[in-house]
Amino acid sequence: MSIKNDRWITQQSTGPRFNYYYQEKLIHEYLPLEWFKFEDVKEPLRALTNGQSYMADPDTRIIKMTNGDMVTPFVDHSVKEILRNGQFVKAPSHGLSSYGYDIRLGRNFKVMNGYRTAKHAVIDPTELENMEGFFTNLNDVDAIEMAPHSFALGVAMERLVMPHNVSGICMAKSTLARIGCVAMVTPVEAHWSGYLTIELKNETDHPMRLHAGMGIMQVVFFMGEDCDTTYADRGGKYQDQPAMPVVAR
């Protein structure tokens, strides 16, 4: 997929072409659905997007990107097991996938305290100076057991160094989603670097055990046009995150 930069978004939002994109829904309403099945429709549709074909970057391109250390350490295939108690056991996969990279869960966590044990009772996104008081640190552990409906911050084992024209979208893995584990990461912007902090939620009524080293989330990469201002250029507050979970700040 070729993503559009900030300059393009500004131009389209203030110029006449934005209205055309805004009305894209009308195209689908007025053209017969069967029309979209023909091969010759590809060129007219591509013309609507300035000649760009929209798709995520495949494994072949990701490998080329990582030659510049975009993902470290990098595994060039999918691994479906982890070492636990001296034996390899089946686990959610990590490593290179068809159109993304499955990152692993690291060994450091911050577990959110209960309402009665937190130093501060109310979480306010406009007052984040005391957020550390809401968490208890668990460092260098093999696994974490999350209580029902609890929340914790984890961290990725891999370090990402995003190129100036590549951004990433993070999504939870299917196996974890189907057992009620919510894994969240906000978009990884161009020129961001560091270890991803991963937001974890146990949505079930049962304790849930998550193991360090297992695949936790897939990052899908999109190379696009150069933007005017990268995450590093504007001094993003989560730049160069350490291999420890970072709370909101």
Asked if 192 and 231 touch (Cβ cutoff 8 Å), the reply is yes
Q: Provide the percentage of residues in the chain whose pLDDT is more than 70.
A: 73
At position 46, the amino acid (one-letter code) is R
Does the annotation count 34 as an active-site position?
no
The pLDDT of residue 117 is 55
Taking the domains of the chain in order of start, what are their residue ranges?
A: 6-47, 59-223
Whether 174 shows a pLDDT value over 60: the answer reads yes
Q: What is the mean pLDDT of residues 167-171?
A: 91
The predicted pLDDT at position 120 comes to 57
Question: What are 122-166's pLDDT values in tens digits?
Answer: 888 898 888 888 899 999 999 999 999 999 999 999 999 998 888
Mean pLDDT of 101-127: 82
What integer pLDDT is reported at residue 12 of this predicted model?
A: 45
Q: pLDDT by residue (tens digit) across 34-86?
A: 444 444 444 444 444 444 444 567 777 777 766 668 899 999 899 999 988 88
Residue 95's region, left for phi above 0, alpha for psi from -120 to 50, else beta, is left
Average pLDDT over all residues of the chain: 79
* pLDDT mean over 209-238: 91
**CATH number assigned to the domain covering 59-223:** 2.70.40.10
pLDDT value of position 179: 96
pLDDT value, residue 54: 45
- Pairing state of beta strands 100-104 and 87-97? antiparallel
Distances from the Cα of 58 to the Cα of 63, 89, 224, angstroms? 9, 28, 14
Q: Catalytic residue among 145, 199, 203, 225, which?
A: 199
Residue 145, beta-bridge partner list? 209
